[in-house]
Amino acid sequence: METIEYLKSPELVYKVQTFFGIKRVDSTKQASIEKTDKESFTIASKFLHYFFLFGTELGDELFYSMFIPFWFWNIDGYVGRRVVLAWAIVMYTGQGIKDIVRWPRPGYPAVRVQQKWALEYGMPSTHAMVGVSIPFSVLLFTLNRYKYTTEIGLTFAVLWCLLICVSRVYLGMHTVLDILAGLALAIILMFPLVPCVNYLDNYFLTNPMSPILILMSSILMIVYYPNSEKWTPTRGDTTMIISVTVGLHIGAWLNYQTGNMSVAELSPPYEIYWPSQYMCLCIIMRMILGLAIIALVLTTCKRVSYNWLCALLGQNPDNIKNSENSLDNKHKTFVELSCKFISCAIVGLHIVYFIPLLFRSLGIERPTFYTEI
């Protein structure tokens, strides 16, 4: 118990922060509690500061919005579908446990460098869980599919995970115990997930009823998501993750059922080649065009779905937006969760189905995109 209390203590968080150059400016405990902006602490190393900010972004929405399209459009959809499904299950589990356990973020003397996640609970660290689920699932699902040195892939995955974990303590957003619990939970989940995800991906592609099953199961997961004692953005973030996964897998199902997908001529493991200048140009064109379409689709879907849902409830959209975030505000909860689900699912569908069709018509598609069953 003493060890657990020590790992849970904000004093240990502050020791880690001071090691990397963060120091409090204020001298009293009360002032430290009240002041959480950048004036209350100093940063000794700008490089380390931005390095850890980059590290924490590897588990945030901006990273997902770039990583997922890039992987599908430029690398491997076979691996991508499995990685995203594993990520969604791991994140749903971690986010749900957060709102069941309800442990707060580190308090004094830890410095709250960022306020972005301040309303969420801290145990377990879902950033740490992402640090396991994404790089290690990429490693596991590419291990027998491509020819590369396993040691290099393992080193990359470990460093990726380590950077995310240390960044969360550096920013004062998690205790060391939060991080260790997130790592342990993700590792435990990965053992059954890897074979299950392989089975589920094949099932989702080939079953004619897959879209209905995926939609119904995902809606039930969101409806019966654990309720916390206060409103937090955790449920909305989880809805975004689940809905993107739904859209991606329905898009892959459409590709398979419409005959766009075929079995690859060669059998794995495949050689890894450096891209030529023409391939690099196509990658750049795909990313610029694809991300622009995603931004347009997301903005349009959010606006249209939000107004439609408000009209469905007979509510004014501006009143809903400006109303208080609380567990009792059922109208706002329904509208915002439904809006995120619809918008992000449509984005996922565009990433895997509509935008690749556009790439094909323009002659800039990745040659192996439709051979990754």
For range 148-177, the mean pLDDT: 91
Q: What is the pLDDT of residue 186?
A: 93
For range 221-249, the mean pLDDT: 87
What is the tens place of the pLDDT at every residue in 80-114?
Answer: 999 999 999 999 999 989 888 888 888 888 888 87
Q: What is the pLDDT of residue 26?
A: 63
Among residues of the chain, what percentage have pLDDT more than 90? Answer: 47
For range 145-161, the mean pLDDT: 91
What is the tens place of the pLDDT at every residue in 250-290?
Answer: 999 999 999 888 888 888 888 888 888 999 999 999 999 99
What is the tens place of the pLDDT at every residue in 329-358?
Answer: 788 888 889 999 999 999 999 999 999 999
Q: How confident is the model at residue 38 (pLDDT cuts 50, 70, 90)?
A: very low
Mean pLDDT, rounded, of the chain: 87
Check whether 225 has a pLDDT greater than 90: no
For range 146-173, the mean pLDDT: 91
Check whether 31 has a pLDDT greater than 60: no
Check whether 162 has a pLDDT greater than 70: yes
Cα gap 334→305, rounded to integer Å:
12
Q: How confident is the model at residue 29 (pLDDT cuts 50, 70, 90)?
A: very low
> Which residue type sits at 123?
M
Among residues of the chain, what percentage have pLDDT more than 70? Answer: 96
The 3-class SS string of the chain reads CHHHHHHHCHHHHHHHHHHCCEEECCCCHHHHHHCCCHHHEEECCHHHHHHHHHHHHCCCHHHHHHHHHHHHHHCCHHHHHHHHHHHHHHHHHHHHHHHHHCCCCCCCCCCCCCCCCCCCCCCCCHHHHHHHHHHHHHHHHHCCCECCCHHHHHHHHHHHHHHHHHHHHHCCCCCHHHHHHHHHHHHHHHHHHHHHHHHHHHHHHHCCCHHHHHHHHHHHHHHCCCCCCCCCCHHHHHHHHHHHHHHHHHHHHHHHHCCCCCCCCCCCCECCCCCCHHHHHHHHHHHHHHHHHHHHHHHHHHHHHHHHHHHHHCCCHHHHHHCCCCCCCHHHHHHHHHHHHHHHHHHHHHHHHHHHHHHHHHCCCCCCHHHCC
For range 192-202, the mean pLDDT: 91
Check whether 166 has a pLDDT greater than 90: yes
Cα gap 290→68, rounded to integer Å:
12
What is the tens place of the pLDDT at every residue in 185-195?
Answer: 999 999 999 99
What is the tens place of the pLDDT at every residue in 44-77?
Answer: 888 998 999 899 988 888 888 899 999 999 999 9
Check whether 169 has a pLDDT greater than 80: yes
Q: What is the pLDDT of residue 172?
A: 86
Q: How confident is the model at residue 177 (pLDDT cuts 50, 70, 90)?
A: very high
The answer to whether the predicted template modeling score (pTM) of the entire model surpasses 0.75 is yes
Check whether 369 has a pLDDT greater than 70: yes
